[in-house]
Amino acid sequence: MTEKRIVVLTGAGISAESGVRTFRDNNGLWEEHAVEDVATPRAWLRDAGVVWRFYQARRRQLLEVEPNGAHVALANLQSKFEHVTLVTQNVDDLHERGGSTEVIHMHGELRTLRCEASGRNEVRMQTQDLADDFLFCTCCELPSRLRPDIVWFGEVPMQMSEIYNAVESCDLFIVVGSSGHVYPAANLVHAANQNGAHTVLVNLEHPINADAFKEIHIGKAGELLPRLVEEWTSNRS
């Protein structure tokens, strides 16, 4: 493989292999609430306590999971090639803990919380930060309440201009563990195809947009990606 501009997009599947739970029961509910009803600006205004407890539970779970082989393989890919943009739909920190740098979290991050007044975010992962009580910022003279630093349904994903610029100029576009249901992420493969990029899918099963990819690998990303990255690296000229 010659030196190329690479974009990698990861979805929930890569985190699921590390044991990250969806927080839905068999009825698709969390504490008798539809998950969509605890992940919207309207839900925060209606009952911030319910939304806060939902995300605090997810934040606590970060302490229980570890990166898998797929996370480590992508960090290796970044170390081997100069131009690798890693974009994730996931809000965990498994890519960073797997060794990746400069990860674009288009849906936000669980490790950080955002001041409702200033919009600034801060890392808050100490033991005292993970309880169910509201937390307050350190950036305002009169501390303001913090909200999850997450892109909720109805909000615009983060750094979309940077993401589109990378996809529209890449030579290789790789998607790992994405269902193809969530937009605008699911549409990025089409932008890559229009640019003439080689598009690769690594997924546990065929997603709804599988037909858009030129190369498909079905199976666990933690098992497939280390081998694929080794092949891509060894074929580099």
d(CA 214, CA 20): 29
Task: Provide the 3-class DSSP secondary structure of residue 129.
Answer: helix
Residue 84: what residue type? V
Contact status, residue 149 vs residue 155, Cβ threshold 8 Å: no
Whether 33 is catalytic is no
Contact status, residue 72 vs residue 224, Cβ threshold 8 Å: no
How are beta strands 146-150 and 121-123 bridged, if at all? unpaired
The catalytically annotated residue of 107, 181, 190, 206 is 107
d(CA 43, CA 56): 15
d(CA 168, CA 184): 14
Q: Which residues pair with 8 in a beta bridge?
A: 86, 174
Q: What angle do CA 19, 85, 104 make, to 5 degrees?
A: 55
As annotated, the active-site residues are: 107
